[in-house]
Chains A and B, each alone.
Chain A
Amino acid sequence: MKNFKFLSVLILAITFFSCSSDHDAAPEPPVDETSGLVKIKELSNDTHIIELYSETGILTQGYNQISLRIKDKAANTFVTNASLNWTPIMNMSEMQHSCPRSSIEKISGKQTLYGGDIIFQMAQNDTAAWELQINYTINDIKYSAKSDIAVTASQKRTINSFTGNDGVRYILAYISPKTPKVALNNMTVALYKMQDMMTFAAVDNFKVKIDPRMPSMGNHSSPNNTDLLQSSLGGTYNGKLSLTMTGYWKINLQLLNASGEVLKGEDFTTENLQSSLFFEVEF
């Protein structure tokens, strides 16, 4: 008991001291637009430091919404007039490939913060790692930065990378609900096809059928789900996902092309208790 008390005091002391030293080291920018975000990584070159942020501070397999800002090393200010693009690269022993990602745009209402999203179809492993190349232009001068990034494996299935019946390689990524509720949730997914190892394009006019089930409870489903459809060309697919209780749900999927042909995924039947295409959520 005595030891425990002593240890607690010690830990408290360390915590306080470490906190104060942090404050000393990092001078706060005048207006911090990153509140609520956690820094993932910094990419730096001779002139700038590019800070990557997300809500969690980590990059995971699947869909990642990323915010970033560029700090001018010399002026110690954040750049407000850059135009950026990025290329994530997976370096494997035999080959290299990229992944679907959006363009980078200034986040509306922000001065220094830019945003975009990247869909990592795989996590890093012992023999394969991701790096991120960012090319940007400020006042017509081109710059570039590059760094390794850590992409952790997702605990649940949030991404499907597969070849459809039409021979095309597709990537279907779960975007939301980020925090599922016992409710009629708005569900959003992104659908891309691979054009070559480095180029991915959003797929238009397809349909994603969803069939959520609870494997731990006799595979019951839920009512009033709607198919996921695009609301605008080039955009994500949206629909209603109904989750009638908390717990582990398997969202069985079927991908249909513009003429209604199933490219991947199977119906749930008593013989076939899951589709080959699915997402998982647990809450």
Chain B
Amino acid sequence: MITLSPIIYGIMKITTTILLAAFSTICLAQKKEKDSIAPVDLNEIIVISKKTPVHLKQPKSLATVEEYLQQSSKVTMVRRGGYALEPIINSMATERTVITIDGMRIFGACTDKMDPVTSYVEVSNLSEANIASGQQGSCHGPTIGGAIDLKRANLNQKELGWKGALKTGYETNNQHKILGTSIGYNDKSFYVNSDFTYRDAGNYKAGNHEEINFSQFTKYNLSATAGFYLGKKSLIEGSLIYDKATDVGYPALPMDVALAKATITSLRYSYTPVSSYFLNWETKVYYNTITHKMDDTKRPQVPIHMDMPGWSDTYGYYSKLKGKYENHHFMANLNSFYNKSIAEMTMYPSNPKENPMFMYTWPDVRTFYNGLYLEDRIQISSNADIKVAANIGIHSNKVADEFGLQSLQIFYPDMTASKNRILKSLSGNYILHQDKFEYGFGLAYGERAPSVSEGYGYYLYNSNDFYDYIGNPNLQNEKSFEANLSFGFKTESFTSNLTSSFFHIQDYIIGKIAPNIQPMTIGASGVKMYDAINYAVIFNTDLNLEYKIAQYWNLKTLLVYSYGKDDNRNNLPFISPLRYSGSLQFKKENFNLGFGASGNLTQAKFAAAYGETKTPDYVIFNFNSGYTFPWNGNKLNIQAGVENILDKYYTTFSDWNKIPRQGRNFFVNVSYVLF
């Protein structure tokens, strides 16, 4: 805390003042107001596949979850191949964000981040993705950058009877074949819903027909939900996602994946009380287990053959209560999870008589978290709202394996097996509507604990900067001071939105070169130990414009600027250069057409200090069209298009080892509603 700069004190002071002001307003605002209108939702929501009529579906309905998320101005993706892209929210990756499926915490089992949570779901499982920036996302757990909650699809209770659809798709670039079914039955007292998707893709080709070896994948995903109405007010629902990917290539990494398997289960109880104060009470218990097995047997040349399996099991629950009282809309979320993460590395010497070389790369780390989130949105006047939220959590880590603990004690001889932390978060937002304008302003403070890799990783090789990383159990909590601003202007034909968020992150966790320690991995440049720098600053701002040109024509543009520096004014890694996209869409009845362009400027502010190099600019063009027509008394929807029309050979700032992205790709998605 000695390193607190005066600016931080300033920000803290302001935060406290604003929050105090907000709370006092709550007290003052007890005078009767008109029953409030629906509170403003600050989050960005991407609709994926709500059970909407087929002709209202997205232009590429069988796109991957990652493709959907990339539509958000807050999200970019680190890409290590054709599969399992890692979402970055507000220029911050997995450690600084929380990604949940219907509020469930899930942790990937791969030490090399080859299996982000998003890789274990399918679009058909989901109805929408709720993207929250910064502390707005702290409802499901401590975060710095923000959160994505992937919402499961729910059948509409009103439409009784059977529902079913067949889906299939093909993409030419990587012979990506998609096959899926969706079957559901809806009764007055219960419902059952199931989805199955199979994807199989070969190697993709970058621009100029360059084949990218080891970029293939095969994925099966099965999802089932069953719910029973217990009277009119309550519902009990069980759900299951079983996801299995095999033979997944990671061309940007030295290893592939033989198996990535997740079983995600939950039991939810939802109660809608009669009381006018409480709107809904939902409680869920969940369990998920992930097995991840890396594989290098298909690579032509490896310095040493190795096995790197990982396992991650999470048990958890949450209990969420929503209510309203006069001009208050409040929510409380009591939640907890217990995660067990183990990863091993076994290397096989060329001399078969020699013992294999074994180590725990994640030494059976148990993470136990208990948190309480409270939120209140107050309508302080007919055109102004305040939202205040606080989160407090008790976070503990324990290295359960003695072998693993002793391994880490090589680096930290005084380290103990357990470490407890308290994580706090506080945020306040003010939203003002005036005629066609909307203004928003918010301040927030949040903390996060180091991830398993940051705290307890053991010789984790990063093939992007060529360093072996060692965790640091003595890391402080990372603390974020955040300010955000938004400005909106809306008329019937024109919508504009400008949002900005600024993060001053204290004790920013990053790998620091340990010059006296030699790497373990053959060919690595050295060892980095996770450590904290005094602070880092990250700033993101985006401008969304939507213009209704004519009755059926819509023009959309997006412009995003990001900035990230450490305390020595070095650029941070994985900060996007100026990125932009634009699309022109035509939509009339059962027909739609779209033409789009997207690109990045040159990444001139690359993080040289962290091993990044310059990435050139690019722009690609896409085209899509869709039509829904009756067929055999049912509806058939066909969507087709071309991505990267000009077959541009390009790579972006977030492509691991500058692996090129997909070249020209023709796709066709077909869905047929059976009943």
Contacts and interface: CB of A to CB of B under 8 A. Distances in A.
Interface residues of A, number: 21
Contact of A183 (B354, B409, B516): B409
Interface stretch (B223-231, B390-398, B489-497, B518-526): B518-526
B325 interface: no
Given A248-B355, A283-B355, 18 more contacts: A183-B407, A183-B409, A183-B410, A184-B406, A184-B409, A216-B347, A216-B349, A216-B357, A218-B523, A220-B519, A221-B518, A223-B518, A224-B410, A244-B410, A245-B520, A246-B355, A246-B357, A247-B347
Interface string A104-140: 0000000000000000000000000000000000000
Contacts of A222: 410, 518
Given A218-B303, A248-B349, A182 B359 contact: yes
B356 interface: yes
A244 B350 contact: no
B414 to A, nearest CB: 11
A282 B355 CA distance: 7
B354 A247 contact: yes
A218 B304 CA distance: 9
Contacts of A220: 518-522
A16 to B, nearest CB: 36
Nearest to A247: B357
Interface in B301-349: 303-304, 345, 347, 349
A247 B349 contact: yes
A178 interface: no
A64 interface: no
A212 to B, nearest CB: 11
B275 interface: no
A283 B410 CA distance: 17
Given A184-B413, A218-B522, A246 B358 contact: yes
B411 interface: yes
A25 interface: no
Contacts of B411: 223-224
A242 B354 contact: no
25 contacts: A182-B406, A183-B410, A184-B406, A214-B357, A216-B347, A216-B351, A218-B304, A220-B520, A220-B522, A221-B518, A222-B410, A222-B518, A223-B410, A223-B514, A223-B516, A223-B527, A224-B410, A244-B407, A245-B357, A246-B356, A247-B356, A247-B358, A248-B349, A248-B355, A283-B355
Contacts of B304: 216-218
B609 interface: no
A244 B520 CA distance: 9
Interface in B8-32: none
Interface in B500-526: 514, 516-523
Contact of A248 (B354, B406, B522): B354
Nearest to A218: B522
Interface string A60-92: 000000000000000000000000000000000
Contacts of B356: 246-247
Contacts of B523: 218
A282 B357 contact: no
B403 interface: yes
Interface in A221-236: 221-224
B359 A244 contact: yes
Given A214-B357, A216-B349, A218-B303, A242 B410 contact: yes
A283 B357 CA distance: 9
A245 B359 contact: yes
Interface of A: 181-184, 214, 216-218, 220-224, 242, 244-248, 282-283
Size bracket, chain B contacts: 20 to 34
A10 B556 CA distance: 87
B407 A182 contact: yes
Contacts of B517: 223
Contact of A182 (B350, B403, B519, B522): B403
Nearest to B356: A247
Binding site of B, secondary structure by majority: helix, strand, loop or mixed? loop
Contacts of B522: 217-218, 220
B459 interface: yes
A210 B522 CA distance: 21
A217 B407 contact: no
Taking each of A220, A224, A244, which has the highest tally of chain B beta carbons within 10 Å of its own beta carbon? A244
Interface in B401-460: 403, 406-407, 409-411, 413, 459
Contacts of B403: 181-182
Nearest to B403: A182
B392 to A, nearest CB: 37
B530 to A, nearest CB: 15
B520 A247 contact: no
A111 B351 CA distance: 48
Contacts of B303: 218
A181 B523 CA distance: 25
A247 B403 CA distance: 14
A246 B355 CA distance: 8
Contact of A246 (B350, B359, B406, B516): B359
Taking each of A217, A221, A282, which has the highest tally of chain B beta carbons within 10 Å of its own beta carbon? A217
A247 B355 contact: yes
A196 B569 CA distance: 68
B354 A216 contact: yes
3 closest cross-chain pairs (CB), A and B = A247-B357, A183-B406, A216-B349
Contacts of A181: 403, 406
A246 B409 CA distance: 15
A244 B470 CA distance: 12
A135 to B, nearest CB: 43
Nearest to A216: B349
Interface string B276-308: 000000000000000000000000000110000
Given A182-B403, A184-B413, A247-B349, A217 B357 contact: yes
Given A244-B407, A244-B520, A217 B354 contact: no
Taking each of A181, A242, A248, A282, which has the highest tally of chain B beta carbons within 10 Å of its own beta carbon? A248
Contacts of A214: 357
Contacts of B409: 183-184
Contacts of B351: 216
A264 to B, nearest CB: 24
A282 B349 CA distance: 12
Contacts of A216: 304, 347, 349-351, 354, 357
A217 B410 contact: no
A242 B519 CA distance: 14
B349 A217 contact: yes
Nearest to B306: A217
Nearest to A248: B354
Contacts of B345: 245
Nearest to A243: B410
Interface string B357-382: 11100000000000000000000000
Contacts of A223: 410-411, 514, 516-518, 527
Given A216-B304, A216-B357, A220-B518, A184 B410 contact: yes
A247 B357 CA distance: 5
A216 B351 CA distance: 8
B403 to A, nearest CB: 6
A221 B526 CA distance: 12
Contacts of A282: 354-355
A244 to B, nearest CB: 6
A212 B410 CA distance: 14
Nearest to A246: B358
A214 B354 CA distance: 11
Nearest to A222: B410
A248 B522 CA distance: 16
A214 B348 CA distance: 12
A216 B407 CA distance: 20
Contact of A217 (B347, B514, B527): B347
B323 to A, nearest CB: 53
Nearest to A224: B410
A224 B521 CA distance: 18
Contacts of B518: 220-223
